[in-house]
Amino acid sequence: MLESCKAQGQVPLPSRQVWQQVKDLRRPWHPLVATEHWQLGPHGQAQLRFTTADHSEYVEQQTFLSHSQQTLAYKMLSGIDGIDQYHAWLTLAEKVPNSTDITWQAFVDGPDHIAKVVAQGSKVILQQGIVALSHLDPKAQKQVSQTKTSALSPAVIAEQCLSGSPRLAIRTSGTHLAGDTVMVFLHGIGGQANNWDEQLSLMGHTLPCAALDLRGYGNSELGKKPTRIEDYIADILRVQQHFGAEKLIICGLSYGAWIAASFATQHPHLVQALIVSGGCTGMSEASAQERSAFLAARQVPLSQGLTPADFAEPVVQMISGPDASKKHTQHLHASMSAIPSATYADALQCFCNPPEPLVFQQLTCPVLLMTGDQDTLAPPAEITDLAKRLHTYCLAEQGPAWVQLEILQNCGHVCNILQADQYNAYLETFVNRCTGLSATGVEANVTTGPSSPKLLKRQQKHTKIISAALAEFAEQGYSGTSLDQIAKRAGVSKPTLYQYIGNKEALFQAVLSGSKQELLQPLTDGSNADMVSALWDFSWHYAQFVLRPDMLSLARLIIGEAQRLPDIAASYQQEGPHLARQGIIDYLTRQTDKGLLDIQDTAMAAESLWSLILSASREHLLHYALEKPDAEQIERHIRHGLSVFIKAFSTQIDHHLQQLQQQVVPNKPF
């Protein structure tokens, strides 16, 4: 028998501040929670293992999430004996400014006598939780809500074509990153691969990405026969094979969302996550009459001899929504105008002749659904109904691992372009959770096995290419270096170089990005027990890195080419010093939050630290190329620089200075 209970209440805070506390399932604010442990399930499910004061242990798993609607749902995996299922919903609503209405309800399925008792007890627990939320500190919550993440410079986008027939073109980013997962983007009927540039620029910092020009679009060829959904699925498999990927994260818009969902339901073992936006099911659930009417209406201008460029204006008006900017409508107009008539007709025929409805129960991965609140082609009510259906499958132990639904504000159909900031924020957080990078802003506790031989081989080859590229850039400069030279030095073919990294600019940025990661390791690996040790290790790590002959040569050459190649010089600054400086800022911010430092302007403090510890030594060696680093002189600079920094910013000056005196110079520093 199914029993339910509901608790309701008000919290005297804006809903966005309350949502910060409840969105990730954790409940440190609940009076009954003694300890808790965050973990990810085998398919990226957010799970919470917690104990109560009487040492009882429970495990819950999030099944639904919507930041835009401030709603989450979860089910109990273990902890309550004698029931078949326990799941709950929590929803926030700000009907009055600065006051949040909370509705928390649970559903218990099991034998009558047990289900009733569990439901009665749950209602008391839910009410206690709402009372606890009403006592949150408004000042603390305001401070949390104002925290901002640092912005990265856009990842480099390159173009290439896949081997095989028909010719398929892709736009790529992040190809220098090693790993067995690749993210694939699929555009709509009126789009092309460059519609995903905002997403490629962002997600290329996380994993390799490829936006595919569908058959007949952009630089891709139209097949000799009418395109079927099976052909698009085969094309995605070609992208997978090109990258040697074991898993795909697939993201599609409108027509591309239908293709993405079709692939995911037919090859669930290959898909790590699925993102569908501006639709999902296409015409696969429409009646034959609806399909015929849709096709006939859109074939009229083609039958009159018009091209997509001729009727682009009304189409753009329909898909952009009333609040679209001129810049965005021009972008959409250009995309539509570039489509050949044969390609548009081919895509319409494929779209309106789906082989069968999608079997969502075949899915095993998490699914993110997004649409615009002004989308008339894939309206919010339609996407919400689909999300609820997917969630039903999830609760029944079939279908998606979990479901996320987001409605973008002031947005029409092509939501990844019209509201790129909103779209990207949801996309990045979702992908980070699904890949186990981070789900709540803290490191996820994910158990992983040893790297596969294939992955190790790929990482080793990637390292060889980066090392060879650094050596060539350092010796020959940017303009004097060729991909042929790098490939020869790395012992790989030029096509392999393109497959792993991309063009010369992407390779240069990969060298600089890798350098930044190496440089900041002492501040990010968590091995240092105290702040002074971390700063000491970072200072020597910095010295050993930037005073290397190859890095000094690279810096000299970039300075020399700055006027002739300003873009490359700017890239050097953005991917090297600027990102490293941001890493220092992030570390100093964390120490300030811990109360170890008193800093009002972390950016200026980072500049000061950077300059104090080594700028004089580096400046000297940049101009005296034949001299070698003097360890004793550099130690004087580092000790003096850190001492000045501690005196300026430490909240425990004497203690930190004493720790500094105890630091030892590393063996063979140079």
Q: Can you give the pLDDT at residue 319?
A: 93
Q: Are residues 267 and 403 in the same domain?
A: yes
Residue 103 belongs to a domain with what CATH number? Answer: 3.30.530.20
What are the tokens at 555?
A: 């810096």
Residues 136, 21 contacting (CB under 8 angstroms) = yes
Q: Are residues 173 and 264 in the same domain?
A: yes
516: confidence class by pLDDT, cuts 50, 70, 90? very low
Q: Can you give the pLDDT at residue 461?
A: 73
Residue 150 maps to a domain? no
Q: Are residues 399 and 315 in the same domain?
A: yes
Share of the chain above pLDDT 70, in %: 83
Q: Can you give the pLDDT at residue 491?
A: 87
Q: Kindly report the average pLDDT of the chain as a whole number.
A: 84
Q: Which of 84, 117, 145 is the last residue of a domain?
A: 145
Q: Can you give the pLDDT at residue 90?
A: 97
Measured CA to CA, the distance from residue 122 to residue 135 in angstroms comes to 20
Whether the per-residue pLDDT at 551 is higher than 90: the answer is: no
522: confidence class by pLDDT, cuts 50, 70, 90? low
Backbone dihedral region for residue 95 (phi beyond 0: left; psi -120 to 50: alpha; all else: beta): alpha
Measured CA to CA, the distance from residue 505 to residue 131 in angstroms comes to 56
Q: Can you give the pLDDT at residue 632?
A: 84
Identity (one letter) of the amino acid at 639?
R
Whether the per-residue pLDDT at 139 is higher than 70: the answer is: no
Measured CA to CA, the distance from residue 152 to residue 263 in angstroms comes to 32
Residues 619, 567 contacting (CB under 8 angstroms) = no
Residue 423 maps to a domain? yes
What is the domain extent for residue 566?
505-661
Q: What is the mean pLDDT of the segment spanning 352-363?
A: 92
Structural domain total, the chain = 4
Q: Are residues 320 and 190 in the same domain?
A: yes
Residues 403, 369 contacting (CB under 8 angstroms) = yes
Whether the per-residue pLDDT at 514 is higher than 60: the answer is: no
Residue 570 belongs to a domain with what CATH number? Answer: 1.10.357.10
The verdict on pTM exceeding 0.85 is no
Measured CA to CA, the distance from residue 552 to residue 618 in angstroms comes to 8
Q: Can you give the pLDDT at residue 599?
A: 93
Residue 289 maps to a domain? yes
Q: What is the mean pLDDT of the segment spanning 371-400?
A: 94
Share of the chain above pLDDT 90, in %: 53
Q: Can you give the pLDDT at residue 512?
A: 61
Q: Can you give the pLDDT at residue 449?
A: 33
Q: What is the mean pLDDT of the segment spanning 404-421?
A: 96
Whether the per-residue pLDDT at 552 is higher than 80: the answer is: no
Give the closest residue to 415 by CA, choosing from 332, 315, 350, 294.
Answer: 332
Q: Can you give the pLDDT at residue 330?
A: 94
DSSP assignments along 238-293, one per residue: HHHHHHT-SEEEEEEETHHHHHHHHHHHH-GGGEEEEEEES-SSTTTTS-HHHHHH
Whether the per-residue pLDDT at 576 is higher than 60: the answer is: no
Residue 348 belongs to a domain with what CATH number? Answer: 3.40.50.1820
Q: Which of 487, 502, 517 is the last residue of a domain?
A: 502
Q: Which of 116-120, 157-161, 491-495, 504-508 has the lowest average pLDDT?
A: 504-508
Q: Which of 92-106, 179-193, 545-559 has the lowest average pLDDT?
A: 545-559
Residue 448 maps to a domain? no
Give the closest residue to 569 by CA, choosing from 468, 660, 478.
Answer: 478
Whether the per-residue pLDDT at 569 is higher than 70: the answer is: no
Q: Can you give the pLDDT at residue 527?
A: 45
Q: Can you give the pLDDT at residue 147?
A: 34
Residue 392 maps to a domain? yes
Q: Are residues 119 and 202 in the same domain?
A: no
Q: Are residues 94 and 198 in the same domain?
A: no
Whether the per-residue pLDDT at 203 is higher than 50: the answer is: yes
Distance from the Cα of residue 556 to its chain's centroid:
35
Q: Can you give the pLDDT at residue 501?
A: 67
Q: Are residues 139 and 169 in the same domain?
A: no
Q: Are residues 56 and 166 in the same domain?
A: no
Give the closest residue to 97 by CA, choosing from 17, 201, 42.
Answer: 17
Q: Are residues 344 and 412 in the same domain?
A: yes
Residue 449 maps to a domain? no
Q: Which of 45-49, 348-352, 362-366, 469-473 has the lowest average pLDDT?
A: 469-473
Q: Are residues 294 and 328 in the same domain?
A: yes
Q: Can you give the pLDDT at residue 54?
A: 79
Per-residue pLDDT tens digits for 304-346: 999 999 999 999 999 998 989 999 999 999 999 999 999 999 9
Question: Phi and psi for 311 in degrees, rounded to 5?
Answer: -115, 20
Q: Which of 128-142, 153-167, 595-609 has the lowest average pLDDT?
A: 128-142
What are the tokens at 577?
A: 């010093």
Q: Which of 434, 468, 483 is the last residue of a domain?
A: 434
DSSP assignments along 340-353, one per residue: -HHHHHHHHHHHT-
Measured CA to CA, the distance from residue 518 to residue 513 in angstroms comes to 9
Contacts of 199 (CB under 8 A, 6+ apart): 185, 209, 211, 251, 416, 420, 423, 424, 427
Inter-CA distances, 252 with 56, 186, 256, 264, 434, Å: 44, 5, 4, 11, 17
Residue 121 maps to a domain? yes
Per-residue pLDDT tens digits for 207-245: 999 999 999 999 999 999 999 999 999 999 999 999 889
Q: What is the mean pLDDT of the segment spanning 177-182?
A: 82
Per-residue pLDDT tens digits for 638-666: 899 999 999 999 999 999 999 999 888 87
Q: Are residues 317 and 237 in the same domain?
A: yes
What are the tokens at 651?
A: 């909240």
Q: Are residues 285 and 416 in the same domain?
A: yes
Question: Phi and psi for 642 in degrees, rounded to 5?
Answer: -70, -35
Contacts of 38 (CB under 8 A, 6+ apart): 24, 26, 46, 47, 48, 439, 440, 442, 444, 445
Residues 67, 406 contacting (CB under 8 angstroms) = yes
Q: What is the mean pLDDT of the segment spanning 596-623?
A: 81
Per-residue pLDDT tens digits for 442-490: 333 333 333 344 445 666 677 788 788 878 877 777 778 888 888 888 8
Residue 191 maps to a domain? yes
